[in-house]
Amino acid sequence: MASSPAALASSSPPTPVQIREANAHLAALHGRVAELEARLAAAEETVRGQAGSLIRKDAETRRALEEIGRQKGREIAALEEQLRSSEDRVQELLGLIREKDGLILRLRHRSRLLGEICRCRPVLDTLLAQMAEGERLGPDSGDTSPDSSGLLPDSNCVPDGARDFSLGSDPQDSDMALFGTTV
């Protein structure tokens, strides 16, 4: 029942039972408000405590992340330095390989030349022997022998049965004898 303020003023005063009921109701409301305010204060304290804890944890996490970032930066710098050092070493080794390749090419060429010299040695020995015999005979313009040129009868100046020069008597040793010989 809703009553207007004018109706209350003209109506009879509340009875002591109504006043007690109203006071009990107000006391219950007041108790409930006090209980809710206490719970609210406790909840606010809990929230403040959790917020402070979260702020501390956030700060700790931020510091840990910053340290991890610095450590990562140091590791990256160290790895970059190792990479530069390795690249420099690779370049040095590539230069050394180029030098060695050039040396190998020069030595192969010399080896081929020595092989050719060793194969020509019998011809040179025969030529030197022929020249020595020619010098021993001296200038004689009256020689009319069939082979008065002083050259070997063979057109390539290699005597019959001649083979590559070898230090050993075995023909298979001729490859090994090419090295370390002097002409």
Residue 146, domain member (yes or no): no
- Give a yes or no: residue 2 inside a domain: no
Which residues are CB-neighbours of 179 under 8 A, at least 6 positions away?
Answer: 111, 114
Domain membership of residue 145 (yes or no) is no
CA proximity to 175, closest of 100, 122, 115: 115
Residue 3 lies in a domain: no
CA dist 152 and 164 (Å) reads 18
- Compute the C-alpha angle 100/105/110, nearest 5°: 120
Q: Is residue 98 part of a domain?
A: yes
Instruction: Please identify every stretch of the chain with a pLDDT value under 50, giving residue numbers as ranges.
Output: 1-2, 144, 146, 150-159, 161-183
In a domain, 143, yes or no: no
Which domain does 89 fall in, by range?
16-134+154-177
64 is a domain residue: yes
Output the pLDDT for position 138: 79
pLDDT score for 170: 46
Q: Is the pTM of this model over 0.75?
A: no
Number of domains in the chain: 1
Q: How many alpha carbons lie under 13 Å from residue 153 in its C-beta half-sphere?
A: 4
